[in-house]
Structure 1
Amino acid sequence: MSTDPGPQHAETPVLPHAHAVTWGVAALPHRGPKRELTTERIVEAAIAIADEHGLEAVSMGKVAAAVGVAPMSLYRYVTGKDDLLLLMYDTASEITVPGAAETWRKGLREWAMFVRAAYDAHPWLADLPPSSTPTTPNRLAIIEAGLTALEGVRMPDDGKVPTLLLLLGYIALYAKASSNAAVDDAVRRALPELVTDERFPLLAPAVRAGVFEPVDTDRDTGFGFGLSRLFDGIERWLERTDNTADSIDRLPTAITSDKQVREAAKLVEKARIDLRQAESKAADAVAKVTDRLRAAESKAEAAAEREAAKAALKAAKAEAKARR
């Protein structure tokens, strides 16, 4: 009789409770008196609170009140707030992308529009940025939909997922950066005066022109512009003969906090300010000299015109006298 135990299989790791719920492998909780209470209902209530009041408003107590139970009753379904946040994140990330575009750019643009729509519907998603390793079904389904748009593209397999994570990061960051929810309106209105030409010579004109005014059309245009530029970069990368991954050295955090580095950076900034001021003075000097030269030329031209007029008048008088 053979003693070969056959092929060995690695034991499936035990998942944290919230992950087990998203993957459908969690043990069902023992139902309490309110048998209609479910994990789905709890998560839906939490999402409704976050949609209306923001992620910081979500608490076990408020969610319990929303579903009509005591806070302790929730713990039969979720182990705590961290569990609840992960379930909210995965549920709000359920996105269906048609995926019938003709080119990878159109496919990724459509994909990005659907992902962005989820962030518009649930702005708090931007407070839970995508990680380098999506671990829940709906977040992984987003990556799968993006890979569908890239199917057939001449790109290394180890470059496709990082590309999608780059785009996901852009979508989340733009949703966060373009929100005015946390901006004090009085401060925003004061920016044109606070952002001076001396300190921010390149930014100040744009601020005065209203670049930070909360206009939805500009927000959409800005998103589309940034997305297209990312696509341009991806397209250029695909055109390279060697499109292997580009690495970049990580700057040690000790460098940025080093006193000498910070002092040197301050000196550089001061030198830039001094240079801008010197350039401004030079431009003023050139303008003044130009004005003086133009004034002198105008004066000379006027004098010449007067002399010419006098000569013409004298000649006319002489001619008139000769005729008499």
Structure 2
Amino acid sequence: MTNPIEPIDPTPDLPHAVAVTWGVAELPHRGPKRELTTEQIVEAAIQIADAEGLEAVSMGKVAAAVGVAPMSLYRYVTGKDGLLLLMYDTASEVTVPGAGSTWRQRLREWAMFVRAAYDAHPWLADLPPSSTPTTPNRLAIIEAGLAALEGVPAPDRMKLPTLRLLLGYIALYSKASSDAAVDEDVRRALPELVTDERFPLLAPAVRAGAFQSNDVDDGSGFGFGLSRLFDGIERWLERNEPDEPLERLPASILDDKQVREAGKVVEEARARLRQAEAKAADAVARAAERLQAVEARNEAAEARAAAKADLRAAKAEAKAAKRGDRD
């Protein structure tokens, strides 16, 4: 006799904050009449994060912003982690028009709209996207990205990794292009700290002011990186060959003594190579100067010899002319 199959519960228990984003959370009925909404609390928390950064968000500060006691918030959210998740989902609401005619145009538009959310809420970069989005607005971003890639001759299993790559780039660029945490005294000291001996390739750029400007990015840097990612995707589509899995190294390898010592040996060898290259370049420059000096001397000697020859010829002509006059 066959055992009956146990039915699968279609609505498993969800963390409260996740359930709130999906609109399936049950709010407790105990306590006084509710004078707030979850949306009001989340909006107040987002305003604090936008103005002061994510680290400024606390249950006490949010409670003060909405005019209630801190404990009152726990009738709406289970704690700060739940509040952060609600903030993350709310700030991630993005509507992409999808007007591009090619996948590159559509995906570029998608990336620009997602980046606009990060520009509006810079703290989003402090909550990097996970491999498994769990809230509606984060999933809607993935859905819009898949729509941009619709019709692209690539396996569906590769489209999600492609979008994760681009989302990671957008979040990382937003984080890396922010100067909010940079001490101005440190910035001014960088030209002295970044020496030619330690950073021979970077030092000239730092002295030229590479890190001195804290102007808002005009989009050229972000656009350059995005276009290069698109170039790579396009080349992969043209190549149409499977990629070999990249071996994942254990994290403990960074602390391995032999690996660290080998890295130091390589760096020392590179330093010696740079010194040798500098000596070779100096030797070439000195040799070129010597050869130029020799050539200059030879040219001067040839010029003097030619001048003497011309003088002798002129004298000979003069003598010949005198003899002709006497005759």
Work out whether the TM-score is over 0.5. yes
1:280 aligns with 2:278: yes
User: What corresponds to 2:91 in structure 1?
Assistant: 92
Deviation at 1:11, TM superposition (A): 4.9
Please, which of 293, 296, 319 is the counterpart of residue 294 of structure 2?
A: 296
- Percentage of identical aligned residues: 77
Q: What RMSD in Å do the two structures reach over aligned CA positions? A: 2.0
- Name segments (4+ residues, structure 1) moved above 4 Å: 4-7, 31-34
Partners of 1:216 and 1:67 lie apart in 2 by 32
1:174 aligns with 2:173: yes
Please, which of 311, 314, 319 is the counterpart of residue 313 of structure 1?
A: 311
1:229 aligns with 2:252: no
Deviation at 1:5, TM superposition (A): 8.4
Of stretches 167-176 and 293-302 in structure 1, the one that deviates more from structure 2 is: 293-302
Deviation at 1:79, TM superposition (A): 1.1
After superposition, residues 1-324 of structure 1 pair within 5 angstroms as 8-30=7-29, 35-212=34-211, 213-217=213-217, 220-242=219-241, 244=242, 246-324=244-322
Deviation at 1:29, TM superposition (A): 4.1
Partners of 1:48 and 1:239 lie apart in 2 by 46
Q: 1:159·1:245 contact (CA, 8 Å) conserved in 2? A: no
Deviation at 1:32, TM superposition (A): 5.9
Partners of 1:17 and 1:59 lie apart in 2 by 19
Deviation at 1:52, TM superposition (A): 0.4
The aligned amino acid for 2:249 is L
Partners of 1:73 and 1:64 lie apart in 2 by 8
Of stretches 204-213 and 90-99 in structure 1, the one that deviates more from structure 2 is: 204-213
Deviation at 1:15, TM superposition (A): 0.6
Q: 1:90·1:137 contact (CA, 8 Å) conserved in 2? A: yes
Deviation at 1:177, TM superposition (A): 0.6
Partners of 2:74 and 2:44 lie apart in 1 by 15
> Can you list the C-alpha shifts for 1:256-288, whole angstroms capped at 9, x where unaligned?
211111011101100000001001101101110
Partners of 1:93 and 1:204 lie apart in 2 by 39
Deviation at 1:158, TM superposition (A): 1.1
Of stretches 16-25 and 230-239 in structure 1, the one that deviates more from structure 2 is: 230-239
Partners of 2:232 and 2:306 lie apart in 1 by 66
Deviation at 1:131, TM superposition (A): 0.3
Computing the radius of gyration from Cα coordinates, the structure with the larger value is: 2
> Can you list the C-alpha shifts for 1:87-128, whole angstroms capped at 9, x where unaligned?
000000001011132111111100000000000000000000
The aligned amino acid for 2:125 is A
Partners of 2:304 and 2:30 lie apart in 1 by 107
Give SS of 1:216's match. coil
The aligned amino acid for 2:150 is E
Partners of 2:204 and 2:231 lie apart in 1 by 28
Deviation at 1:290, TM superposition (A): 1.1
Give SS of 1:75's match. helix
Partners of 2:168 and 2:182 lie apart in 1 by 22
Partners of 1:36 and 1:262 lie apart in 2 by 59
The aligned amino acid for 1:317 is K
Deviation at 1:311, TM superposition (A): 2.8
The aligned amino acid for 1:256 is L
Deviation at 1:34, TM superposition (A): 7.0
> Can you list the C-alpha shifts for 1:138-175, whole angstroms capped at 9, x where unaligned?
00000001011111211111111111111000000000
Partners of 2:294 and 2:230 lie apart in 1 by 56
Counterparts in 2 of 1:162 and 1:6: CA distance versus 1, 3 Å = closer
Deviation at 1:185, TM superposition (A): 1.9
Partners of 1:79 and 1:261 lie apart in 2 by 45
The aligned amino acid for 1:89 is Y
Q: 1:119·1:125 contact (CA, 8 Å) conserved in 2? A: yes
Partners of 2:300 and 2:206 lie apart in 1 by 44
Unaligned runs of 5+ in 2: 323-327
Partners of 1:10 and 1:20 lie apart in 2 by 16
Deviation at 1:303, TM superposition (A): 2.1
Partners of 2:239 and 2:316 lie apart in 1 by 84
Scaled by the length of structure 1, the TM-score of the pair is 0.92
Unaligned runs of 5+ in 1: none
Partners of 1:185 and 1:8 lie apart in 2 by 62
Deviation at 1:247, TM superposition (A): 1.4
